[in-house]
Structure 1
Amino acid sequence: MTHVDLPAAREACPTSSQKLLADGALLVDVREADEVAACGFAGCAVMHLPLSQFEARFAEIPRDREVILACASGDRSLKATYFLLYQGYTKVTNMKHGLARWVARGFPITGTAAAVTAGGCGCGWGTCC
């Protein structure tokens, strides 16, 4: 096995992500289906690719477009960001603090914010905020 030096992952908070999204970036939500059904990102181009299926399906993510990876808190999406960097993707950014901060900033959502703010994000850690 060869050693690969990866660049540090770029990260942006939800507020900074708004400019990237307005400029055409694709938001990739790596949360599981039940989490997305309860509360999801809205107001931008969103692709749902659960982390549980990420390794098998990552090739569906365009290489020629800016991509922002997001989850409930930014931890799972950071793993996905590094996975894509390892696969040779260069236009990837992790959304720090994820949907929890997106909701706190009042950005558009589907479903109900209570699913996130009440700790019902489905991440298994209790609360993500």
Structure 2
Amino acid sequence: MNEAVKKELAEAREVCPSTSQRLLKAGALLVDVREPDEVARVGYAGCEVVNIPLSQFEDRWQEVPRDRDVILACAVGERSLRATYFLMYQGYDRVMNMKPGIARWVARGFPITGSAEAVALSEAASACCAGSAEPVPAASACGGGAGAPASPSSCCGGGQSSACC
């Protein structure tokens, strides 16, 4: 994305799991951008959740409603931040990123499906990118800094195994 377009985008709104709980009770939708195998190990519960993996986001983003608040979430908040910026670029204005993600959700004792022990696996997978078996620091993952808008297919998904991102 060129610098002129990046400057036009507002800063993504970020919310913690506690604030997310309040918004979800008021009717917000939670969109989990983790891969299906991650969701199967441990998932968000107690609210309306839609899973649109980041690897499929470019093809499925139109499933996200424009007429209500939407909270994007993942393991630690990096992939969901990318999805948040992607939707903002598409003209969405009621989207926000849950940071730090399922790890804090579990730590706060909010409802989950699966096993809380799976959170460590989910966090490790979210740090892995670009087909590498080695974790990549979150700030440099996928070739951009945290908050740098990116095409979901060029990051953590586009053909990568679901065990990595």
Displacement, 1:27?
0.1
Asked if 1:45 is matched to 2:43, the reply is no
Which structure has the larger Rg?
Answer: 2
Asked if 1:27 is matched to 2:11, the reply is no
Q: CA RMSD in A?
A: 1.7
SS of corresponding position for 1:120: helix
Displacement, 1:120?
0.7
2:16 and 2:63 map into 1 onto residues whose CA distance is: 24
Higher relative contact order (CA 8 A, sep 6+): 1
The match for 2:121 is 120
Please give the TM-score of this superposition, normalised by the length of structure 1: 0.92
1:10 and 1:44 map into 2 onto residues whose CA distance is: 20
Displacement, 1:57?
0.5
1:13 and 1:66 map into 2 onto residues whose CA distance is: 15
Instruction: Choose between structure 1 and 2: higher helix proportion.
Output: 2
1:18 and 1:34 map into 2 onto residues whose CA distance is: 24
4+ runs of 1 displaced by more than 4 Å? none
- Gaps of at least 5 residues in structure 1 are none
The match for 1:82 is 85
Length, aligned pairs only: 125
1:100 and 1:75 map into 2 onto residues whose CA distance is: 13
